[in-house]
Amino acid sequence: MIGVVVMTHGNLGKELIRAAELIKGELKGVIPVTVDATKGVDELKKETTAAIKKSDAGAGVLILTDLFGGTPSNISLSFLKKDKVEVVTGVNLPMLLKVPNAQGEMSLYEFADYIAEYGKKNIYLASAILNRKAED
């Protein structure tokens, strides 16, 4: 099973996990890491290392971050390692809801790509969809 670390500014990651678990039940191997102004880079790297170790069941770890170029993303990028750790930015609730369906079915890179594409695919402009349905 591929582990997942959700590393975000503030409590966003914890709350996304909590929301996903309300819908799907327990998300196994999914660990939050909270980034805030009270933590230095060294402390965050230690927390990230611990989260990676805790979530890794031998198939690698996907780190999901909130914002490319932000502190969570920048720190996560230092952990990138082929077939061991992959990073996807722009985490959203649909991504986390899809995690349990594919955690054990593909390689780490394929899983990361699948989760990233699923997250993108679930962003909609509601008025465009509703207008299109009204025209049909």
Query: Per-residue pLDDT tens for 71-90?
Result: 999 999 999 999 999 999 99
Q: CA distances (Å), 43 to each of 8, 47, 84, 95, 109, in order?
A: 15, 6, 22, 27, 27
Give CA–CA dist 22/16, Å, rounded. Answer: 10
Query: Can you give the pLDDT at residue 103?
Result: 87
Query: Can you give the pLDDT at residue 118?
Result: 96
Query: Can you give the pLDDT at residue 116?
Result: 97
User: For residue 62, what are the β-bridge partners?
Assistant: 4, 86
Query: Can you give the pLDDT at residue 17?
Result: 98
Query: Can you give the pLDDT at residue 93?
Result: 98
Q: Whole-model pTM?
A: 0.93
Query: In order of start, what are the domains of the chain with their CATH numbers?
Result: 3-135 (3.40.50.510)
Below-50 pLDDT ranges, the chain? none
| Residue 62 and residue 111 in contact, taking contact as beta carbons nearer than 8 Å | yes
Query: Can you give the pLDDT at residue 136?
Result: 67
